[in-house]
Amino acid sequence: MDDKTFDQTTAQTWIDAIEKPGQTQRDKDIYPRLNTWLNVYGAKHVLDLGCGQGICSQKLLGYKTYEGVDPSPYLIARANERYTGDNITFTEGNAYQLPLEDGAFDGVFSVLVFHLLEDLAKAAAELGRVLQKGGSFCLITTNPEAMEQWAAFYENCNIDGKRLSGTMDLDGKPSEDVLYFHTIEDHQSALKANGLHMYGADMFRPATDTDNRKENTPLLMLIAGVKL
């Protein structure tokens, strides 16, 4: 497995990208979907898996407690610096081995993280372990049908099966990425093996003309479901 977690340079590039003034794309598509998920399923004690610099703690409305987990100490430090609150906690940890109690949450969500994970089965096992029976999950990740569209973002792009590696220009800074385009069936079977029932997959964020894509295939996918 060659997953790489964010080093300090990549973490700072991510912070700059998220905290840059005038960022509206996520306000239009990611956060409304997350809030719909929270409202529909009614989770109160939520885990943000791979929370980055913690922005979702502010964008999600209506939870009682929020815990963000991320393997990058740099991003966790930034999260703690920016977003404090009695009901908000940030902890260092990896999706493959969460430093959390069994059944500690009635909602688990993850934004733009699952495509960084090579081993879906291992991540799904941990997700299933920390989620209560009847609790819900929401995963926002890359659309597996949009590998070609994603490849257009990268220089020195190399594709090997479901794995894409390359260099993306993130606001003038190079980001060396490795992405995995796991299919819907890959997700479904990894989740199912851990008692997690997937209701469906919703594709969103169409590529625009300026992205120089051949087709208007949505770039992202949302998977939601419950623990049976």
Ligand X SMILES: C[S@@+](CC[C@H](N)C(=O)[O-])C[C@H]1O[C@@H](n2cnc3c(N)ncnc32)[C@H](O)[C@@H]1O
Site of interaction with ligand X (CB under 6 A): 3, 5-6, 14, 18, 50-52, 55-56, 70-72, 75, 94-96, 111-113, 116-117
Closer to ligand X by Cβ: residue 111 or 120: 111
Closer to ligand X by Cβ: residue 56 or 198: 56
Closer to ligand X by Cβ: residue 159 or 178: 178
Beta carbons of 137 and 108 less than 8 angstroms apart: yes
49: closest CA among 101, 94, 106, 115? 94
* Closest-approach residue to ligand X (CB): 52
Q: Shortest Cβ distance from residue 81 to ligand X (Å)?
A: 15
Closer to ligand X by Cβ: residue 72 or 149: 72
Token reading at 45? 């004690």
Tokens 């969460």 belong to which residue?
Answer: 98
Q: Shortest Cβ distance from residue 97 to ligand X (Å)?
A: 9
C-alpha distance across the termini of the chain, in Å: 30
Q: Shortest Cβ distance from residue 117 to ligand X (Å)?
A: 6
CA 109 to the chain's CA centroid: 7
Q: Is 15 left (phi over 0), alpha (psi -120 to 50) or beta?
A: alpha
Closer to ligand X by Cβ: residue 14 or 41: 14
Write the DSSP string, 162-173.
TEEEEEEEETTE
User: Kind and range of the H or E element at 203?
Assistant: strand 196-206
Instruction: Give the integer Cα–Cα distance in Å for 90 and 105.
Output: 14
Tokens 């099966």 belong to which residue?
Answer: 161
Q: Shortest Cβ distance from residue 30 to ligand X (Å)?
A: 7
Q: Shortest Cβ distance from residue 149 to ligand X (Å)?
A: 17
Closer to ligand X by Cβ: residue 50 or 135: 50
Q: Is 62 left (phi over 0), alpha (psi -120 to 50) or beta?
A: left
Token reading at 50? 């791979």
Instruction: Give the integer Cα–Cα distance in Å for 16 and 53.
Output: 10
Q: Shortest Cβ distance from residue 17 to ligand X (Å)?
A: 9
Q: Shortest Cβ distance from residue 56 to ligand X (Å)?
A: 6
Closer to ligand X by Cβ: residue 7 or 215: 7
